[in-house]
Amino acid sequence: MNTQEIIEMDSKYVMQTYGRHKIALVKGKDTTVWDADGNSYIDCVAGIAVNNVGHSNPKVGEAICNQVKKLIHTSNLYYTEEQVTLAKLLVDVSPHQKAFFCNSGAEANEGAIKLARKHSGKGEIITMINSFHGRTITTITATGQPKYQKGFEPLTPGFKYAPYGDIEAVKEMISPSTAAVLVEPVQGESGVIVPPEGYLKQLKEVCEDSNVLLIFDEVQTGFGRTGEMFASQTFGVTPDITSLAKAIAGGFPMGAVLANNDVAESFVPGDHAATFGGNPLGCAAAKASINFILEEKLLDKSKENGSYFVEKLLKLQNQHELINEVRGKGLMVGVEMKTDCGCMVDELFKEGIIVNCAAGNVLRFVPPLTITKEQIDTVTAALNNVLSRY
């Protein structure tokens, strides 16, 4: 099928919940993707920070193929070696001690919120203005942006919103019924917002002093995106609970909640479950993906090439009035424009670059961690071309 035929069929048969760009992707290899009309692109979206180990990673593919032949699915009523070995691997690379498996980021946050409420016996959760935590009723409630909530009321009770980066606001908001503070270590959907220096450390102290749990939503920042395996390590702050998804399994759908033993023990049999959670196929994919990150030293590459990317973008900022700010951590990079950046995205498609526009005016670059300096040069040259035409 060509692009036009695919688009027509989508409008007829698929619920129109997405404002899609008019390209249909058919194939990916590492940092490159191809569309249905044969054009290729350097992919700086990577399925929104999912394909950290590159498209169609051969190691992940091999692990999936091998597992498919053995056991695709079984119930959590039984044990599997794949699930326990993935849990151990996650514990080894994270600051946590136990894992629960689910299927998406929203579900991971749901699990984290349930765990915090069960453990504390309290109901209130403080989240941040302009945060993003998912699309279920409870996670749109946790998301501090009315545009995601409108039309879907009644929302889940018990949520309060503090301005991101404002430690005093959180202090004032904490009450005797506060169970947890839920925060993205770097805000993704609202335009790659890096918190002020020391903010996450202060948040940890405030939470500890008030006996409130700290939950990091690392759905987007996890698995090398910010230069360490988790942003908690990048910032040197250990939360009580971490929610994960996106890049966890190299593109295979999966989510997880990580916690320390004392918190994790509050979940007892019957408290929480997911039919597909931690299924052997997903676990095999996740292990292969995490091992690839470790073996190929993608954490070093994320740090090094992230800095290289930002350097090049800062040079562009000197040449182009339109760029307001360049910011990021590792290979999670945002370029804030002085105008709307929706049409820049379309112009960059024509230059063979896939990028997306977050929060209306921020070009967000979250490429596979395997991106090379040469590819970064190509991306920044294309952006230079586009900005020169403005």
Ligand X SMILES: *Cc1c(COP(=O)(O)O)cnc(C)c1O
- Summarize as ranges the residues that interact with ligand X (CB under 6 A): 104-106, 109, 132-134, 184, 188-189, 217, 219-220, 245-246
- The residue (of 158 and 185) whose beta carbon lies closer to ligand X is 185
Category of 319 on φ-ψ map: left (φ > 0), alpha (ψ -120 to 50) or beta: alpha
- The residue (of 162 and 323) whose beta carbon lies closer to ligand X is 162
Distance separating alpha carbons of residues 59 and 101, to the nearest angstrom: 22
Q: Smallest gap, in angstroms, from Cβ of residue 190 to ligand X?
A: 10
Q: Smallest gap, in angstroms, from Cβ of residue 243 to ligand X?
A: 7
- Token pair belonging to 233: 């390590």
- The residue (of 35 and 184) whose beta carbon lies closer to ligand X is 184
170 assigned to a ligand binding site: no
Distance separating alpha carbons of residues 112 and 182, to the nearest angstrom: 9
Distance separating alpha carbons of residues 389 and 377, to the nearest angstrom: 19
Q: Smallest gap, in angstroms, from Cβ of residue 151 to ligand X?
A: 19
Task: Please choose, from the candidates 128, 43, 23, 108, the residue with its C-alpha nearest in 3D space to the C-alpha of residue 331.
Answer: 43
Q: Smallest gap, in angstroms, from Cβ of residue 133 to ligand X?
A: 5
- The residue (of 188 and 334) whose beta carbon lies closer to ligand X is 188
- The residue (of 100 and 308) whose beta carbon lies closer to ligand X is 100
- The residues, any chain, with a CB within 8 Å of residue 178's CB and separated by 6 or more, are 122, 124, 125, 126, 210, 212
Q: Smallest gap, in angstroms, from Cβ of residue 226 to ligand X?
A: 12
105 assigned to a ligand binding site: yes
- Token pair belonging to 328: 């990021």
166 assigned to a ligand binding site: no
Sheet with 32-35, edge to edge strand ranges: 25-29, 32-35, 40-43, 353-354
364 assigned to a ligand binding site: no
252 assigned to a ligand binding site: no
Q: Smallest gap, in angstroms, from Cβ of residue 253 to ligand X?
A: 8
Please say whether the beta carbons of 257 and 241 come within 8 A: yes
Helix, strand or coil, per DSSP, at residue 313:
helix
- The residue (of 50 and 383) whose beta carbon lies closer to ligand X is 50
Q: Smallest gap, in angstroms, from Cβ of residue 254 to ligand X?
A: 9
Distance separating alpha carbons of residues 314 and 325, to the nearest angstrom: 8
275 assigned to a ligand binding site: yes
- Burial level of 146, CB count in 10 A (0-12/13-18/19+)? exposed
The one-letter amino acid at 76:
N
Backbone phi, psi, residue 338, to 5°: -85, -10
Q: Smallest gap, in angstroms, from Cβ of residue 186 to ligand X?
A: 9
In residues, how long is the chain?
390
Q: Which residue is nearest to ligand X (CB)?
A: 105
Backbone phi, psi, residue 244, to 5°: -135, 155
- Token pair belonging to 152: 């879907």
135 assigned to a ligand binding site: yes
Task: Give the CA count within 13 Å in the CB-facing half-sphere of 61.
Answer: 10
220 assigned to a ligand binding site: yes
- The residue (of 227 and 383) whose beta carbon lies closer to ligand X is 227
Centroid of chain to Cα 336: 19
- Token pair belonging to 339: 């105008």
333 assigned to a ligand binding site: no
- The residue (of 48 and 89) whose beta carbon lies closer to ligand X is 48
| Residue ranges at the known binding site for N(2)-acetyl-L-ornithine | 135
| Residue ranges at the known binding site | 105-106, 132, 135, 217-220, 275
